[in-house]
């Protein structure tokens, strides 16, 4: 249903929880009982009841989702064939079982904690980067949620998470397993190795036309043109709406005056101060300065170092003592104040050089201010425009028609799944690129798809992308003439790979015949390198990662090889030494993964036991009635 709202339930604990519990019901089964139910009861587990109206609403929402994706109605038989009723009922029983257990254990959350959870959910943040109650309310309304329904669901989710998280708390990895993992982790290997690249080989001569055609004929599938889809894309972002937002000169000037400090450079002053132990000493010094004694002489008499008096070249905002700042920024250059009552005692302030501040005139920044005000207004208008687009889609309008009504630009792109145009170039400027391509290639011509929500953060303003598949060009075999350049490139790659492999095998054979590894490498014109203390899962400076897995699969004293640089080169190595130092503490991340696995095992056992204790009964007649009548057309 609402993807944005579901983010609050998308954590790893929630996913593990629901997956395991649904599996436990599938394994152990649900008892079918045909008596003892009220007319509005669909199923019970423990003391928790799932009502017919509640399930009917959720079932309709699920069918509506699928029907939109398929662009056709779903019959009762099709719904059963898809397994939708049982899958959905299992999900509801899973949640109900944990809700029942949480209630029996007396778990509870305050309204304040629920409010905190909702307000801290980034899904409900507005343009300012914090919880926006109006945005929250509009999201709920536009997706058929009441606030009470969502808050109740959030409360239940939080309690289920508490219950599951409490099960795994305190689990530790057995010491025997820790020791075994530590030994595995701490094993070290030392190797000599060399890199064999294509540059060390003679480039293959171009093949004849007949040879290249034969190569193509044997590999036609590798040169097939992929499926292309023509996709209509409608983008709604603040930038797309900004130009239509009207901003007056008065509004620009008001924003300028309100943020005047941000359009200039503040005045800076070189400030010194003497802090006195009491007011009497400060007054005596101030009187002497007033009579003509220099501030520097007072500093010298008191045997103060520069670091004792210098505050530096500062702005008013740099100074933490407001009284001292007010005095310093009211004096002329080379001026000295009277006694100032500072936060840390009586002070006399002296000002040296003054660097005046400057402010950019309104005319220089008016354009930027107007653009920002237009974007701010566009952000406020964006949700209203979103609702209008969704209303038009609900009425059956196509994106081309909607774009005209909304004053938005409809793009049309011809692309493959990787985002490449038929000429091989990359499709540029496609917001929500990965999600749009993935969704479009899972959709069908004319099918309605859920909009993609663009990220909203400091660098991205958010927005929405709607898309429709306009046409599909199936994959096809290219002719030799079309694919000739690609065929030649592939032929050269294959010949180079064959030559690399042949040279690697020749060096290995030489070593097997008794030639020392370093000598065989040198005779092949390769550079011999050494690497010591290699460990699993660790990087080593200058050692290609391509070598690591193969090194730990090769016995001590043996020679091995691996692909390198994406398959364009080869690595040859000899394992010189294998050692297992005294094991220390194993890697904490690895231990965390092991603990998670143990927790998952414990949760599975708990959930199966919980199902056995609570039992589950369903009113099959009521379920059949819902499934038999609630097709989406």
Of 92-106, 213-227, 332-346, the least confident: 92-106
Tell me the per-residue pLDDT of 479-501, one tens digit each, with 9 for 90 and over. Answer: 999 889 889 999 999 999 999 99
CA–CA dist 192, 511 (Å, integer): 13
Given a contact cutoff of 8 angstroms between Cβ atoms, the answer to whether 122 and 128 are in contact is no
Is the CA virtual torsion 368, 370, 373, 374 positive or negative?
negative
**What percent of the chain is predicted at pLDDT more than 70?**
89
CA–CA dist 73, 63 (Å, integer): 9
Q: Residue 576 is encoded by which pair of tokens?
A: 């010189």
What does each C-alpha distance from 196 to 237, 560, 622 come to in angstroms? 51, 13, 71
What is the DSSP secondary-structure string of 339-400? Answer: EEEETTEEEEEEEEEEE--EE--HHHHHHHHHHHHHHHHHHHHHHHHHHHHHHHHHTT--HH
**What percent of the chain is predicted at pLDDT more than 90?**
32
Residue 557: exposure state from Cβ atoms within 10 A (0-12, 13-18, ≥19): exposed
CA–CA dist 3, 624 (Å, integer): 29
What does each C-alpha distance from 366 to 171, 249, 520 come to in angstroms? 62, 9, 73
In whole angstroms, how large is the CA radius of gyration of the chain?
37
Stretch 42-59: mean pLDDT: 86
pLDDT at 275: 92
Tell me the per-residue pLDDT of 569-610, one tens digit each, with 9 for 90 and over. Answer: 999 999 999 988 776 666 677 777 787 788 777 777 777 777
pTM above 0.85, yes or no: no
Q: How many other β-carbons are positioned within 10 Å of the β-carbon of residue 547?
A: 24
CA–CA dist 318, 311 (Å, integer): 10
Tell me the per-residue pLDDT of 376-397, one tens digit each, with 9 for 90 and over. Answer: 887 888 888 889 999 999 998 9
Those residues with Cβ within 8 angstroms of residue 522's Cβ, 6 or more apart along the chain or in another chain: 528
What does each C-alpha distance from 216 to 160, 221, 374, 430, 487 come to in angstroms? 59, 9, 57, 34, 6
Residue 47 pLDDT grade (very low, low, confident, very high; cuts 50, 70, 90): confident
Owner of token pair 């294959």: 494
Of 217-231, 354-368, 533-547, 618-632, the least confident: 618-632
């Amino acid at each position: 249903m609402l993807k944005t709202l579901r983010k609050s339930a998308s954590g790893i604990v929630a996913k593990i929880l629901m997956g395991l519990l649904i599996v436990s019901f599938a394994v152990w089964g649900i008892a079918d009982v045909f008596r003892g139910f009220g007319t509005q009861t669909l199923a019970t587990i423990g003391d928790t009841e799932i009502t017919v109206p509640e399930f009917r609403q959720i079932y309709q929402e699920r069918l509506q989702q699928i029907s939109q994706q398929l662009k056709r109605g779903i019959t009762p038989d099709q719904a059963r064939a898809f397994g939708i009723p049982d899958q959905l009922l299992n999900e509801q029983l899973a949640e109900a079982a944990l809700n029942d257990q949480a209630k029996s254990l007396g778990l509870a959350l305050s309204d304040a904690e629920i409010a905190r959870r909702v307000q801290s959910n980034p899904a409900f943040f507005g343009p300012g980067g914090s919880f926006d109650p109006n945005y929250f309310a509009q999201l709920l309304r536009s997706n058929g949620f009441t606030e009470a329904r969502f808050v109740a669901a959030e409360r239940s989710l939080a309690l289920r998470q508490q219950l599951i998280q409490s099960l795994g708390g305190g689990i530790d990895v057995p010491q025997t397993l820790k020791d075994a993992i530590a030994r595995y982790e701490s094993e070290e290997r030392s190797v000599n190795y060399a890199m064999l690249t294509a540059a060390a080989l003679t480039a293959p001569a171009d093949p004849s036309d007949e040879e290249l055609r034969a190569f193509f004929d044997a590999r036609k599938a590798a040169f097939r043109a992929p499926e292309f889809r023509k996709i209509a894309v409608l983008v709604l972002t603040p930038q797309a709406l900004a130009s239509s937002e009207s901003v007056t000169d008065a509004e620009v000037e008001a924003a300028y005056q309100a943020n005047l400090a941000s359009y200039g450079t503040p005045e800076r002053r070189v400030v010194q101060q003497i802090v006195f132990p009491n007011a009497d000493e400060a007054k005596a010094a101030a009187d002497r300065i007033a009579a003509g004694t220099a501030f520097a002489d007072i500093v010298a008499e008191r045997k103060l170092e520069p670091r004792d008096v210098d505050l530096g070249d500062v702005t008013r905002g740099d100074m933490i003592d407001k009284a001292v700042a007010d005095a310093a920024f009211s004096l002329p250059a080379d001026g000295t104040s009277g006694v100032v009552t500072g936060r840390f005692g009586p002070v006399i302030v002296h000002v040296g050089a003054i660097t005046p501040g400057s402010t950019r005139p309104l005319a220089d920044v008016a354009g930027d201010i107007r653009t920002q005000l237009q974007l701010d207004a566009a952000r406020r208008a964006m949700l209203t425009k979103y609702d209008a687009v969704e209303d038009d889609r609900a009425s059956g309008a196509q994106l081309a028609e909607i774009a005209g009504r909304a004053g938005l630009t409809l793009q049309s792109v011809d692309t493959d799944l990787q985002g490449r145009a038929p000429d091989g170039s990359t499709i540029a400027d496609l917001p929500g690129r990965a999600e749009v391509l993935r969704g479009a290639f899972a959709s069908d011509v004319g099918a309605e798809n859920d909009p993609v929500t663009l990220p909203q953060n400091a660098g991205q303003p958010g927005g929405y992308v709607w898309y429709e598949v306009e046409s599909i060009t199936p994959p096809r075999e290219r002719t030799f003439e079309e694919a000739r350049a690609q065929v030649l490139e592939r032929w050269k790659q294959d010949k180079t790979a064959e030559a690399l492999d042949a040279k690697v095998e020749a060096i290995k054979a030489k070593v097997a015949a008794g030639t020392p590894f370093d000598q065989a490498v040198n005779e092949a014109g390769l550079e011999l390198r050494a690497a010591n203390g290699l460990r699993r899962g660790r990087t080593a400076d200058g050692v290609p990662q391509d070598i690591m897995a193969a090194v730990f699969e090769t016995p001590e004293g043996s020679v091995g090889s691996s692909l390198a640089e994406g398959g364009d080169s080869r690595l040859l190595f000899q394992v010189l030494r294998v050692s297992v130092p005294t094991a220390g503490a194993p890697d904490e991340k690895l231990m965390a993964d092991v603990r998670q696995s143990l927790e998952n095992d414990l949760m599975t056992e708990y959930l199966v036991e919980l199902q056995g204790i609570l039992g589950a009964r369903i009113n099959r007649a009521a379920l059949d009635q819902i499934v038999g009548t609630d097709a989406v057309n």
